[in-house]
Amino acid sequence: MAILGFHFSGPYKEKLLRGEKTSTIFDYPAHFVPGQVVQVYASELPNLFDGVEEERVGTATIIKSFILSVSALTDKDAVRCGYSDRKALIGSLRKWYSLDESSSITYVEFKFDKLVF
């Protein structure tokens, strides 16, 4: 299954636009190649799964992508994902996914280019 875009909910939109979110995490193996460009969509609402409409806000160029365990996440990884620290990141991940410290995740670093209207 190819992923054509990143879809972010309201809490991440402003962080993304301010350049404070430069990584994202998937709870499944997601295969990205450095240099790959994907579309970036965002919603104003806190939960994308409520059937809300999104808007295309730009593109992201993949810098790197790798699989690691939740236990390997660091505070630096958390900051790149838009969180203050590892504890906050893991707390948020557990709201979305059924994860524990041994779970494997895909960690993706990207460069965001916002649309100019």
Return per-residue pLDDT of the chain as tens, 117 residues: 345 788 888 788 889 999 999 999 999 888 899 999 999 988 876 555 555 677 889 999 999 999 999 999 999 999 999 999 999 999 999 988 899 999 999 999 999 998 765
Whether 78 and 105 have beta carbons less than 8 Å apart is answered as: no
Residue 82 lies in a domain: no
Tell me, yes or no, whether 27 lies in a domain.
yes
Q: Is residue 16 part of a domain?
A: yes
Pair of tokens at residue 60 = 């992201």
Identify whether 32 is part of a domain: yes
Instruction: Report if residue 55 sits inside a domain.
Output: yes
Whether 31 is covered by a domain: the verdict is yes
Domain count, the chain: 1
Give the structural domain span for 42.
5-69+105-114
CATH number for the domain harbouring residue 53: 2.30.130.30
Model confidence, pTM: 0.85
In a domain, residue 28? The reply is: yes
Nearest to 67 by CA among 20, 102, 43: 102
DSSP characters over 63-109: EEEEEEEGGG--HHHHHHTT-SSHHHHHHHHHHHS---TT-EEEEEE
Residue 90 forms part of a structural domain: no
